[in-house]
Structure 1
Amino acid sequence: MLFDRVSVPVAVCDVYGAVQVANPAMAAECGTTPGRLRGRDVLELFRPQEATQVERIAEALRLRHRSRYQVSVRWQAPGGAQRYGELTADPVSDTVEDTPALLVMLRVLAEREAHGQRPLRVAPIEARILALLASGTTTAQAARETDLTVDGVNYHLRRLSSRWNAANRTELVARAYALGVLAPGVWPPTPTSWDGPE
């Protein structure tokens, strides 16, 4: 009963990712009821942003590691919008010898418009700062590269962190990739090739 009252989307999956039980909040993210999620593959419902994340987790589970695992995912909300978030999987079992089940929690980070599926809009200077941050530059270096002051760079980073509810710069960069602001698979990091107002 308590499981059903939790407002966070939660499911229990077997070690292969098949949903055994899900709460109403998780089912609502998929536009269905908890019973209809039973047996569905959680990674088909919530598609991973990077396949390598899933491969590392699968290997760790085969080796019976009991760490918390996070996967950046995307899925289509019932209204048609593309949503982005993180799945956190915790292996749980009664004893160390038992094959663990996975307690999976979903954290919704953002969504794109259903029509057009364009990346989240940020100012060009913010996209440039995020790209510099992703490449490992310091705040002072980013300020020099963008002709801003250090305070100016920090202003944009605070603004983005507040808008995206990012706890730190690492999370800010991860969300920039997950939201399509930075182009995946490109080095040095580059903003996606769209432009528009904030």
Structure 2
Amino acid sequence: MVDYPVSNTGLVSKEIIPTQLQDRCTEQYRDIYWSLFEQSGICMANLDLELRVLEANRLFTQQFGRTSNNVHGQNICDFLHPSVQGKVKNEFIRLTDGQNPRFADQIVAMGAKDSVFLGEMTGIAVRGSAGRVGTIMVLVKPEASETGPQMVVGRRKLFSPVHARILEGVAAGESTVQLAAKLFLSRGGVEYHVTSLLRKLKVTNRPALISKGYSMGVFAVGQWPPRVRPEYVSS
């Protein structure tokens, strides 16, 4: 793969344009391409076939709380929360193999200062003149949030094993009676633990509890029945 240089301003040089565009476009069209890339109003990045960032616009670096220098060359999966890395990586593999032309998926991403944010990531396979996939275009649309990015609290052990099992049961739609029988607790015991979880995650009801859990990356995305990731559970 080609190692693309960074300009003195810290931005990737506008000369770094996919080869097929350099072959076909005049200087004027290359300027238009770069202008659209920088001024699109969308977080954008170009990847090589090993999913490393070749170039990224200012919005992308700002959203992820990084500089151009430490974005360039990083694997795109490093910008995602571990709970979604495997699922999204498989989507990218299908792009690079030519199985799919594009994908759009919900993500939990790592932002600035140990925060996470929700959003949608779109990947588009860019084919060269020979018809083979040469690069991947990535678009990231953060989800609007009144409270802003959520802090990554899951880097410490957040839940006891009992709390984790109750959280999984609530996420799966199990009732208090079902949880009590499953965990050998009284109904009052289940409600006590649910109330404790509501206070811990600073929410007021069960649906909000589960939504907050997913927004923090507590649950593995795309898995059913829901499972709390092991790194969130104390031994």
Calculate the TM-score normalised by the size of structure 2: 0.47
**Contact 1:22/1:37 (8 A) holds in 2:** no
Aligned partner (choices 173, 182, 190) of residue 228 of structure 2: 182
Q: CA 1:58–1:167 in 2, change beyond 3 Å: closer, same or farther?
A: farther
Cα distance in structure 2, aligned partners of 1:147 and 1:184: 26
Match of 1:21?
A: 56
1:43 aligns with 2:77: yes
Q: Which residue in 1 is equivalent to 2:104?
A: 68
Shift, 1:170, TM fit: 7.0
Q: Which 5+ residue runs of structure 2 have no aligned equivalent?
A: 1-34, 144-148, 221-226
Instruction: Report deviation, 1:85.
Output: 4.5
Q: Percent identity?
A: 16
Q: How many residues align?
A: 172
Cα distance in 1, alignment partners of residues 39 and 187 from structure 2:
50
Q: Distance in 2 between matches of 1:148 and 1:4?
A: 56
Q: Secondary structure at the match of 1:53?
A: helix
- 8 Å contact from structure 1 (residues 83, 110) kept in 2: yes
Deviations along 1:24-73, one digit per CA (max 9) or x if unpaired, are 463363442x4653443322344644653144213332312433134545
Query: 1:167 and 1:25, CA in 2 relative to 1: closer, same or farther beyond 3 A?
Result: farther
Partners of 1:67 and 1:15 lie apart in 2 by 16
* 1:64–1:168 CA distance, 2 compared to 1 (3 A): farther
What residue number does 2:233 align with?
192
Give distance in 1, aligned partners of 2:163 and 2:72. 42
SS for the counterpart of 1:13 is strand
Matches of 2:180 and 2:212, distance apart in 1: 20
Q: Which amino acid aligns with 1:176?
A: V
Are the structure 2 counterparts of residues 118 and 48 from structure 1 closer, same or farther at C-alpha, using a change threshold of 3 Å?
Answer: closer
What residue identity is the alignment partner of 1:118? R
Q: Distance in 2 between matches of 1:45 and 1:143?
A: 39
**What are the residue-to-residue correspondences of 1:93-132 with 2, within 5 Å?**
99=133, 101-105=137-141, 108-112=149-153, 117-119=155-157, 121=158, 126-132=163-169
AA partner of residue 10 (structure 1): C
The 1:63–1:147 alpha-carbon spacing in structure 2 relative to 1, beyond 3 Å, is same
Matched, 1:90 2:122: yes
Change (3 A) 1:13 1:156: farther
Q: Could you tell me how far apart the structure 1 residues matched to 2:78 and 2:85 are? A: 12
Q: Which range is displaced more, 60-69 or 125-134?
A: 125-134
**CA offsets, 1:99-156, max 9 Å, x none?**
551213456443239xxx523x46887544213346x461241255443369878767
Higher-Rg structure is 2
Cα distance between partner residues in 2 of 1:55 and 1:28: 20
TM-score by length of 1: 0.53
Q: What letter matches 1:111 in structure 2?
A: V
3-state DSSP of counterpart to 1:142: helix
2: CA distance between counterparts of 1:126 and 1:162? 15
8 Å CA contact retained: 1:11, 1:26: no
- Return 5+ residue gaps in structure 1 as ranges: 186-190
Give the CA RMSD over aligned residues.
4.9
Name the aligned partner's letter for residue 101 of structure 1: M
